[in-house]
Amino acid sequence: MITLLRLELKPNESLDKALRRFKKLCNREGLTRDMRRTTCFEKPSEANKRIKREQERARAKLERQGDKRKVKARKARMKALKAARNQKQHQVQRSDDIMGDN
């Protein structure tokens, strides 16, 4: 896997801040994790444990996102129901107004 990172110095930016930004960029891309993993030998049993941990983490993340989707869907349904009720009440008021004029 080849990853190219590009970091442009901002005007009047110190090297310390640029280096800090570069480190954050490397962490986000997962380069530091890959470097640590490939610098020394990883036993197959350790690799299996790591893979299982990563899968469990991904599964938990999907579950959390699923909960968020359910909450969003529930909010959307409630909003639609509320809008329908308001519209129905508005129609009833209009019909009352029309009948009251007669």
95 within domain boundaries:
yes
- The residue segments making up the domain with residue 27 are 15-101
Q: Domain for residue 88, yes or no?
A: yes
- Reply yes or no on whether the pLDDT at 101 is more than 60: no
31 Cβ contact partners less than 8 Å away, ≥ 6 residues apart: 3, 5
Interatomic CA distance for residues 57 and 42, integer angstroms: 20
Residue 85 in tokens: 């009720």
The answer to whether residue 8 sits within a structural domain is no
Q: Is 10 within the bounds of a domain?
A: no
- pLDDT (average), residues 20-46: 86
Please report which confidence band the pLDDT of residue 68 belongs to, taking 50, 70 and 90 as the band edges.
confident
Q: Over range 28-34, report the average pLDDT.
A: 83
In a domain, 2, yes or no: no
Residue 44 lies in a domain: yes
Supply φ then ψ for residue 10, to 5 degrees: -80, 160
Q: Is residue 50 part of a domain?
A: yes
Could you tell me if residue 84 is inside a domain? yes
The pTM of this model reads 0.42
Q: Which of 57, 1, 59 is nearest to 34 (CA)?
A: 1
How many structural domains are present in the chain? Answer: 1
19 or 84: whose pLDDT is higher?
A: 19
